[in-house]
Chain A
Amino acid sequence: MTPTSSSSWRAVVRQIVRKALSALVVLWGAATVAFFAQLALPGDRATAILNIRSGQAQLRTPAELAQINEQYGLQRPVVVQYLDYLRGLIGGDFGNSYQQYRPVTAIIGEQLGATVTLSLTAIVFAWILMVVWVTLTAGRGPRVGALGALVDVVAAGLPAYWLGIILLLVFGLGLRWFPVIGGTGVNGLILPALTLAIPLAGFMSQSTRTEFERALEQPFVISARMRGMSDAGVRVRHVLRHAVIPAVTLSGWALGATLSGAVIVESIFSRPGIGNVLVTAVSSQDLPVVVGIVTLVAVVYVLANLIVDIVYTLVDPRLKAS
């Protein structure tokens, strides 16, 4: 046993290293795409930056341009700028905002907490909704099952902005359970998080439902029933554990989806957060801020997926055996 298990461990480690390296390549690529996006501003960059700052297009004097060129190092060759940018990224430096005269990291740092809270709350809500809904409706005959599946599909397809508005109208304005605008406390978090959670729950339910129904047919379920376990007990203690695996592997994607969905949700509910910052930055063409936030979300997505992948490799014994 010992030699095989040690060699299988080596295979696992090799697999993890390979995955980490490939994630690194993807991260580097994402950063590169983001850098060249900043170069793509039409016309002279220093002029563009000044115009973005003042909000009006006009010709600039050489003295003005020289100052901007100096500040952003625009006169240097692109390759040098690129290497500098990469070095900055590794040290956690995303450059300076065109409009706010501050480092992008400071701007993001102030607002990141609110968005992460929203995003994680939404994922927790989505899991609760998904687990309850699937456990109640999966494998309960054609009618209930079909209703369950239909709700999954519809929920997954709801556009965030519309769902948010409906929730706002019904629970905020109609029933007055939650503050309509800018609630910063726990109360103000519930509707925005639900707006992100409902479509997410719909997506996860689709794959969980398939697994759940498959697991219900397994021998271990029959043996549990023969031991006299109740239906609810079988579902919660045995079947659920198998059924949620695909949803767990979607975690990285879910994090990326809720972070980008925050753009719309924060706008509807007038919540602070990086989504709101992003919308303002896009409309004022403050590219370093836009690029910083977009890169950050891509990094989170890649890292979350890597972690899921590694955990998966460690947990699944079949991968070790192969």
Chain B
Amino acid sequence: MTALRPAPLAVADARPGLLARLATGAARRPWGLYAAIAFVGLLALAAVAPQLLATHDPLALDYPHSLLAPSWTHWFGTDESGRDLYSRVIFGARESLLIGLGAAAVGIVLALVLGSLAALAIKPAAVVIDRFVEILFTFPALLLALLLIAISGPSATTEILAVGLGTAPGYARMIRGQILAAKGSAYVEAATALGHSRARIVLAHILPNALRPLVAVFALSVGQSIVWASSLSFLGLGVAPPSSEWGALLDAGRQYIVQAGWLIVVPGVVIVAVALAATTIGRHLQSHLERGEK
């Protein structure tokens, strides 16, 4: 009996470690995905009904208790006016998530229009649009966003449009590639041979197949958009500080970095966590869709 013992141990050793499975997303139970969904769910609740989660009034001034470090009463500490940072983060969820979702929607729709025209329009128009996308792509996303803000002045709407515009060229290229790949596939060739009309082929075959990955891309884009939007607010070019949108919280906390580092670390951690959660969900959707195709 003892001779048989080493075998199961060796098998256990050969299995990739927890870290490996997390990194490749190959875990049988995707704990990372569960955590991401739980976190996003919590934030969605905060966005819909912040009073359920908040422990204090996010706007109540309390000067004697200003710049307190995190504690049992103030989980994330307090800001320069004694407002509870945890409650402010909770109340900021609605605006931050709406901006992220809005910007991702703007970016994807814009990319969808540009990308499908570049792939499907008749030759000269397609070439012009393709070039236009390439030209937009030479401007880094942040700079394209800043250009729009310089023209129309900072506001939440501009922030949404700016981030959407900034991210659109990259996605447009991706969508164009997807459509071209679908266009060259065997089932489209078969449909053409069967004598289906061009419109029918595009609507029934090319678009559904080319656009299936967009669900995953949208999730990835929401995470990215929240980061971009908060970068703009952080630069003082997005939503202005009285709001507790997370980027605005970062901007407001900058002056107190020496005395109260948590004012800037905590909103930053929340933003990074949201981006990570959205990316995790997007990656899982992506691999799920790819597996479904096989």
Interface residues of A (CB under 8 A from B): 25-26, 29-30, 33-34, 37, 40-42, 142-143, 145-147, 149-150, 153, 157-162, 165-166, 168-169, 173, 180, 256-257, 259-261, 263-264, 267, 278-279, 281-283, 285-287, 290-291, 293-294, 297-298, 301-302
The 9 A-B residue pairs with the shortest CB-CB distance in the complex, in nearest-first order: A146-B20, A29-B135, A260-B140, A162-B268, A290-B150, A142-B16, A146-B23, A150-B23, A298-B138
Q: Who on chain B is nearest to A165 by CB?
A: B264
Contact B140 A283 (CB under 8 A): no
Instruction: Give Cα A107 to B101, complex, Å.
Output: 37
Interface pick from B33-41, B68-76, B201-209, B231-239: B231-239
List residues of chain B with CB within 8 A of the CB of A287.
Answer: 150-151
List residues of chain A with CB within 8 A of the CB of B143.
Answer: 260, 263, 278, 293-294, 297-298
List residues of chain A with CB within 8 A of the CB of B236.
Answer: 279, 283
In this assembly, does B139 line the interface, its C-beta being within 8 Å of a C-beta of chain A?
yes
Contact A264 B234 (CB under 8 A): yes
Contact A291 B258 (CB under 8 A): no
In this assembly, does B265 line the interface, its C-beta being within 8 Å of a C-beta of chain A?
yes
Overall SS of chain B's interface: helix
Contact A158 B235 (CB under 8 A): no
Contact A30 B139 (CB under 8 A): yes
List residues of chain A with CB within 8 A of the CB of B140.
Answer: 256-257, 259-260, 297, 301
Mark each residue of chain B from 19 to 30: 1 if its CB lies under 8 Å from any CB of chain A, else 0.
Answer: 111111000000
List residues of chain B with CB within 8 A of the CB of A293.
Answer: 143
In this assembly, does B146 line the interface, its C-beta being within 8 Å of a C-beta of chain A?
yes
Given contacts A42-B152, A165-B265, 11 further A-B contacts (CB under 8 A): A142-B20, A147-B23, A153-B23, A162-B272, A166-B265, A256-B140, A267-B234, A282-B146, A282-B150, A286-B150, A294-B144
How close is A181's CB to chain B, nearest CB, in angstroms? 10
Contact A301 B138 (CB under 8 A): yes
List residues of chain B with CB within 8 A of the CB of A34.
Answer: 147
What are some 25 contacts across the A-B interface (CB < 8 A)?
A30-B135, A33-B136, A142-B16, A142-B20, A143-B20, A145-B20, A146-B17, A146-B22, A150-B23, A157-B275, A157-B276, A165-B257, A165-B265, A169-B261, A256-B140, A257-B140, A260-B141, A263-B143, A263-B146, A264-B234, A282-B237, A286-B150, A290-B146, A293-B143, A301-B140
Instruction: Give Cα A245 to B24, complex, Å.
Output: 24
List residues of chain A with CB within 8 A of the CB of B78.
Answer: none
How close is A266's CB to chain B, nearest CB, in angstroms? 10
Most chain B beta-carbon contacts within 10 A, residue among A146, A281, A285: A146
In this assembly, does B31 line the interface, its C-beta being within 8 Å of a C-beta of chain A?
no
Contact A173 B258 (CB under 8 A): yes
Q: Who on chain A is nearest to B264 by CB?
A: A165
Among A142, A157, A294, point to the contact of B279 (Cβ < 8 A). A157
How close is B133's CB to chain A, nearest CB, in angstroms? 10
Contact A40 B136 (CB under 8 A): no
Contact B268 A146 (CB under 8 A): no
List residues of chain B with CB within 8 A of the CB of A142.
Answer: 16-17, 20
Contact B19 A146 (CB under 8 A): yes
Contact B151 A41 (CB under 8 A): yes
Among B21, B150, B261, B272, point to the contact of A173 (Cβ < 8 A). B261
Q: Who on chain B is nearest to A151 by CB?
A: B23
List residues of chain B with CB within 8 A of the CB of A150.
Answer: 19, 22-23
Among A26, A160, A279, point to the contact of B237 (Cβ < 8 A). A279
List residues of chain B with CB within 8 A of the CB of A159.
Answer: 227, 230-231, 268, 271-272, 275
Among B19, B131, B264, point to the contact of A143 (Cβ < 8 A). B19
Instruction: Give Cα A263 to B149, complex, Å.
Output: 14
Instruction: Give Cα A40 to B132, complex, Å.
Output: 18
Instruction: Give Cα A33 to B153, complex, Å.
Output: 19
In this assembly, does B250 line the interface, its C-beta being within 8 Å of a C-beta of chain A?
yes
Instruction: Give Cα A103 to B279, complex, Å.
Output: 44
Contact B22 A279 (CB under 8 A): no
Q: Who on chain A is nearest to B151 by CB?
A: A40
Q: Who on chain A is nearest to B146 by CB?
A: A282
Instruction: Give Cα A34 to B150, complex, Å.
Output: 12
How close is B270's CB to chain A, nearest CB, in angstroms? 10
List residues of chain B with CB within 8 A of the CB of A25.
Answer: 131
In this assembly, does B214 line the interface, its C-beta being within 8 Å of a C-beta of chain A?
no
In this assembly, does B154 line the interface, its C-beta being within 8 Å of a C-beta of chain A?
yes
Contact A161 B234 (CB under 8 A): yes
How close is B8's CB to chain A, nearest CB, in angstroms? 19
Contact A263 B235 (CB under 8 A): yes
Among B154, B231, B265, B279, point to the contact of A169 (Cβ < 8 A). B265
Instruction: Give Cα A291 to B151, complex, Å.
Output: 10
Among A30, A41, A161, point to the contact of B138 (Cβ < 8 A). A30
In this assembly, does B126 line the interface, its C-beta being within 8 Å of a C-beta of chain A?
no
Among A29, A290, A301, point to the contact of B132 (Cβ < 8 A). A29
Mark each residue of chain B from 147 to 177: 1 if its CB lies under 8 Å from any CB of chain A, else 0.
Answer: 1011111100000000000000000000000
Instruction: Give Cα A267 to B24, complex, Å.
Output: 36
Instruction: Give Cα A127 to B231, complex, Å.
Output: 25
Instruction: Give Cα A40 to B158, complex, Å.
Output: 14
In this assembly, does B62 line the interface, its C-beta being within 8 Å of a C-beta of chain A?
no
How close is A41's CB to chain B, nearest CB, in angstroms? 6
Instruction: Give Cα A212 to B227, complex, Å.
Output: 31
Among A26, A294, A298, A302, point to the contact of B146 (Cβ < 8 A). A294
How close is A139's CB to chain B, nearest CB, in angstroms? 14
List residues of chain B with CB within 8 A of the CB of A147.
Answer: 19, 23
Among B24, B135, B142, B146, point to the contact of A146 (Cβ < 8 A). B24
